[in-house]
Amino acid sequence: MHDRFIDISYQMTPEMAIYPGNPGFTAIRTSDIEKGGKANVSCITMGSHTGTHMDAPLHFISGGESIDQLPLDRMNGRAIVADVTGHSEISREMLEKLPIGKGDIVLFRTDNSLSWNCDRILDDHVTLTYDAADYLAEKGIKMAGIDYLTIERPRSRRTPGKSVHLSLLKNGVLIVEGLALKDADEGEYEFFCMPLAIKGLDGCPVRCALKKID
């Protein structure tokens, strides 16, 4: 196994892209050594789905598990980075060709990674079809990840009454969004994902990393 970790999280800055309607990010120094303070202390404000973040079932399911109720083994472990660049969407037929098994973590490197740096909202983005989301749930994976702020389909390609989020979360598949996968080659990895244990939260920014498995 390689010793090098690949950091696949985006930096938090006031200029970063925020999903429309969500709270923005700020970090304000409330105590400053250079201004006479005894220590540097900051106040951070942001939404629960800011930057690289994880969705708990509570995000879409009333009474669903919150972020603090999820055991760490459900969000860490063996992961497959699937390179699906060159496609406008991820279909069930594409997934059926991948070595996906029960308990896997599947991270999708799409064309989003080629042009997006958490710097703006895209007019269109690559994500799963509804059939593909159902397939992942059927396979019993434990987490799906995407390289954009949302795994949901663009508004112009949504079907009323259907939801990629709900198809996954209601079947116990956690979701991690906003991954920086530009430098992650296709293959098998050890995946590390750590949200803060904030009681009752529907999601949380996370620090994610990959370690290549030979």
Burial of 67 (0-12, 13-18, 19+ CB in 10 A): buried
Contact between residue 194 and residue 92 where contact means Cβ atoms under 8 Å apart = no
The domain segmentation of the chain, as residue ranges, is 5-11+48-212
- pLDDT tens figures, 56-110: 999 999 999 999 999 999 999 999 999 999 999 999 999 999 999 999 999 999 9
* The listed CATH number (3.40.50.300, 2.60.40.2550, 3.50.30.50, 3.40.640.10) that belongs to domain 5-11+48-212: 3.50.30.50
pTM score:
0.95
